[in-house]
Amino acid sequence: MIEQLPSLPAGILGFRLRGIVTADDYESVMVPDIEAAFALNRKVRSIIHLGDDFTGFAPGAMWDDVKLGFRHISGWERTAVVTDVGWVRVMSSVFGFAIPSHFKLFSNAQMDDAMRWIAEPR
């Protein structure tokens, strides 16, 4: 399941991933929000939280995640990933350099720091 993070400033998208995330979750929650944000903003920031209740991706969901990121490849200004999930931290560290935005990885205990970082002025 994917749900929106509440009360974020304009131009910042935030999502919390819980349980098993499916391709339908991307299509019904993330895609509309991302497309709407890019219709209003040339550059967008995002914060993604994968908490302790995140258990993984259903088949096809990871591919949807990759496609979604590349659809607006030059429009991502800043991306924060907040998680203590070991394999997600490893993958984020390994592939973070390939993300075409300023990318930073935070632990769950650093959620407030991640929120401040994603919202700080340019």
Residue 2 has pLDDT above 90, yes or no: yes
Domain ranges of the chain: 2-119
Examine the pLDDT at 93 and tell me if it is beyond 80. no
**pLDDT, tens only, 40-79:** 888 899 999 999 999 998 887 766 566 666 665 667 889 9
Query: What is the rounded distance in angstroms from the CA atom of residue 42 to the CA atom of residue 68?
Result: 16
Looking at domain 2-119, its CATH architecture is 2-Layer Sandwich (3.30)
pLDDT for 39 beyond 80: yes
C-alpha torsion 42→120→87→98, nearest 10: 40
Residue 96: count other Cβ atoms within 10 Å of its Cβ: 13
Structure tokens at 34: 């991302």
Average pLDDT over residues 26-37: 88
In percent, how much of the chain has pLDDT > 90? Answer: 44
Place of tokens 């993330």: 30
Q: Can you tell me the distance from the alpha carbon of 122 to that of 110, in angstroms, rounded to the nearest whole number?
A: 21
Higher pLDDT, 29 or 72: 29
